[in-house]
Each structure stands twice: as C-alpha cells, then as structure tokens.
Amino acid sequence: MFPIMAQPPRAACARCDDRMDKVLEIVLLAMVAAFLGLRLYSVLGRRAEQEEEPVVQRFETDEPPAIRPAAVPAPVAPPRVVELDGVMPAVERALREIAAADGKFNLAQFLDGARGAYRMILEAFWKGDRETLRELCDDDVYGGFIAAIDAREAAGETMDNTLIRIEEVRIHSAALDGRMARIALLFVADIAAVTRDSAGNVIAGSLDDAIESRDVWTFSRNVSARDPNWLLDETDEG
C-alpha cells in the first residue's frame, strides 16, 4: 500500500495568496502608470509642438536679407554689319584692322561719303571743275583728270553727261599698309553721255540712251592724319 501524503499546512497557502495579491497590485499599478503617461504625452506633447517657435523665426535677425548680385549676362557678339554681306574674309579682316587703327571709321558712313564723292568727281570732270577735283583726288588721279580736260578743251569739245542713278556700291578690296588705309569700291551706275563740238552739235552719245558704267575706284587715307577725308587715288574699269 502506498502511504497517504499529508495536506500542506494552511499557513503556507496564506502566504502564497499574499504574494499573488502583491504581484497583481504591482501589475495594475504599472498599467495605470503607463496609461497616465500616454495621456500626459498626448496632451503635453501637442502643446509643446504648438508653442514651439518656428525654425525660420529662430534664425531671424534685425538685419535686412542679403541681396544677391544680379546675374551678369553672357557677352553677345555684335551683329554683323549689313555692308559686309558677300565680302571675302580677307577683305573683312582688313576693314576691321582699319577700324581698329582709326577709331572714327564707320563703314556705313564711308560708303555714303564714297557714293557722294563718286557723283561729285564725275560731274566736276565733265564740267572741267578743277578746284573740286583738287579737293577730292590725290596728285596722280588729279593729274590724269586735268590732262583729259585740257585735251578736250583744246579740241573745243564739251561733255554734257548726266548721272541717272547709282545702282550699286560694293566693297571690292581693302588693305591697311602701315598707317595708310585703302578701300576699293565697285560702282555700278547708269549714265547718259553726250559729247558736243564747239558749235554745240552732238558728236558722240545720246541723252535718250543711258549706258551702264562699272568703275572700281580706290580711296585712301592716312589714319593718323587729322583730316578725316578720303581721297580718290586710283580709277579702273569694273
């Protein structure tokens, strides 16, 4: 037969019950503390976020904001001069060298002046106006014009020519030799040419029929000289 086990004493059971009650009490207190902590965080945390100073304001000062320098635009190449259209690169380089040597040189103004000089020189030659030719031509060209005028007057002939229009003025060549600049231009013009004898009779040409004239005239100027005028120093057929 197996022996009968004795029942545990009542005092021991009572101590176990006390321990269980304390454990439960601690667990309950911990849960209550956790609950209260969450509630406090939910309330105080939001308030702290609302009362917190914005980041931008924290770094604001009484000094005015720094002004950024304006962006500097990239340099733009100057537009190509219309008068250079169709000009050979070597001629264009020579014109730019002339402009660099003579700060007052302006190609458009030069072409306008050459157009006017072409008309004035032709009309002065036809009329025998030596004074105007002297002002607009160098010694060699002036000498050639005077020789032709003298021969014409000796023969008793006069020229009754009219420049109808200048159709075109085109840059033919250009060069800078030391301080001497030379620019050759092609003139295309319509001219009514008439030659009369001493009695006034037409011996050549017609005022009713204009002919096309193509002349290459070269103008020169010392870029160091104070005189801004260019002189005709060579004439040729175009």
Looking at the fold, whether 157 and 219 belong to one and the same domain comes out as: yes
What pLDDT score was predicted for residue 85? 73
C-alpha 31/C-alpha 25 separation (Å) is: 10
Residue 84 pLDDT grade (very low, low, confident, very high; cuts 50, 70, 90): confident
Least confident interval from 8-12, 120-124, 195-199, 230-234: 8-12
What is the pTM assigned to this prediction? 0.66
Residue 68 covered by a domain: no
Residues 27 and 107 occupy one common structural domain? no
Largest CA distance in the chain: 184
What pLDDT is stored for residue 121 in this prediction?
98
Our measurement of the distance from residue 108's CA atom to the centroid of its chain's CA atoms, rounded to an integer in Å, reads: 18
Give domain status of residue 76, yes or no: no
158 band by pLDDT with thresholds 50, 70 and 90: very high
Count of the separate structural domains present in the chain:
2
Say yes or no: 202 and 132 in one domain. yes
41 domain-assigned: yes
pLDDT value of position 198: 93
Please check the confidence at residue 215 and state whether its pLDDT lies above 70: yes
The mean per-residue pLDDT over the stretch 33-40 comes to 55
Residue at 224 is within a domain: yes
For residues 107-129, give the mean pLDDT: 97
Query: CB of 74 within 8 A of CB of 50?
Result: no
Beta bridge partner(s), residue 237: 215
Residue 168: per-residue pLDDT: 96
27, 29, 33, 45 from 39: Cα distances, Å: 18, 15, 10, 10
In which domain, by residue range, is 19 found?
9-52
User: Quick one: 46 and 107 in the same domain?
Assistant: no
Other Cβ atoms less than 10 A from the Cβ of 62: the count is 4
pLDDT for residue 209: 86
Phi and psi at residue 162, to the nearest 5°:
-135, 130
Mean pLDDT of the residues in the chain: 80
Is 78 inside any structural domain? no
| Residue 61: both structure tokens together | 């000062």
Handedness of CA 17, 21, 26, 27 (dihedral sign): positive
State the CB neighbour count (10 A cutoff) for residue 100. 11
My answer on whether 23 and 112 are in the same domain is no
End-to-end CA distance of the chain: 153
Q: What is the pLDDT of residue 145?
A: 98
The C-alpha atoms of residue 66 and residue 203 are separated, in whole angstroms, by 88
Could you tell me if 123 and 24 lie in one domain?
Answer: no
The verdict on 98 and 43 lying in the same domain is no
Same domain? For 25 and 101 the reply is no
Are 97 and 206 found together in one domain? yes
Residue 161 sits in the same domain as residue 95: yes
Alpha helices in the chain (DSSP H): 10-51, 55-58, 89-101, 107-127, 130-136, 139-154
Give the closest residue to 100 by CA, choosing from 181, 13, 198: 181
Q: Please report, for the domain that includes residue 121, its CATH number.
A: 3.10.450.240
Collapsing DSSP to helix, strand or coil, 135 comes out as helix
Res 35: pLDDT: 57
Burial of 175 (C-beta count, 10 Å sphere; 0-12/13-18/19+) = middle
